[in-house]
Amino acid sequence: MVQSNLSSHQKLEPFLLLSKSAKGVANCKLIIDALNAPGVYVFTELYEAPNVVEASQLPEVAPYYNLLRIFLYGTFNDYQQQKANLPALTELQTKKLLQLTLVTLSETSQTLSYEILQRELNIPTVRELEDLIMDAMYNGLVTGKLDQRQRQLQVMKTIGRDLGPYQLDETMEALRAWSTQTSRLLGLLDAKIDYLKESVRDSEQAKLDYGHQLEEVRKEIRENTKNNITLPNEILQMDETSQKKARDIYNIRQRGFFAIQQLNLVNDLYCSTSLHTSFTATS
> Could you please report the per-residue DSSP string of 76-126?
HHHHHHHGGGSPPPPHHHHHHHHHHHHHHHHTT-SEEEHHHHHHHHT---H
Pick the residue with more confidence: 172 or 158? 158
Q: Whose CA is closest to 280, among 226, 185, 209? A: 209
Using CA atoms, how far apart are residues 168 and 149, in angstroms rounded to an integer? 38
The Cβ of residue 86 has, within 10 Å, a number of other Cβ atoms equal to 17
Q: What's the pLDDT tens digit per position in 124-144?
A: 999 999 999 999 999 889 999
- Confidence tier at 34 by pLDDT (50, 70, 90): very high
State the angle between helix axes of 62-73 and 91-106 in degrees (0 to 180), rounded to the nearest 10: 40
Using CA atoms, how far apart are residues 193 and 28, in angstroms rounded to an integer? 61
> Is the CB of residue 65 less than 8 Å from the CB of residue 90?
no
Residues of the chain with pLDDT > 90, as a percent, come to 46
Instruction: Tell me phi and psi for residue 143, to 5 degrees.
Output: -120, 125
Using CA atoms, how far apart are residues 274 and 250, in angstroms rounded to an integer? 36
Mean pLDDT along residues 224-253: 53
Would the pTM of this model clear 0.75, i.e. be above it?
no
Tell me which DSSP letter residue 263 carries: H
In the chain, the DSSP E strands lie at 111-113, 142-147, 152-158
Pick the residue with more confidence: 107 or 3? 107
**How much helix, strand and coil, in percent to the nearest 5, is found in the chain?**
75, 5, 20
> Is the CB of residue 116 less than 8 Å from the CB of residue 153?
no
Using CA atoms, how far apart are residues 134 and 144, in angstroms rounded to an integer? 10
pLDDT at 113: 93
Please give the distance of CA 98 from its chain centroid, rounded to a whole number.
Answer: 32
Please report, in angstroms and rounded to a whole number, the separation of the first and last CA atoms in the chain: 47
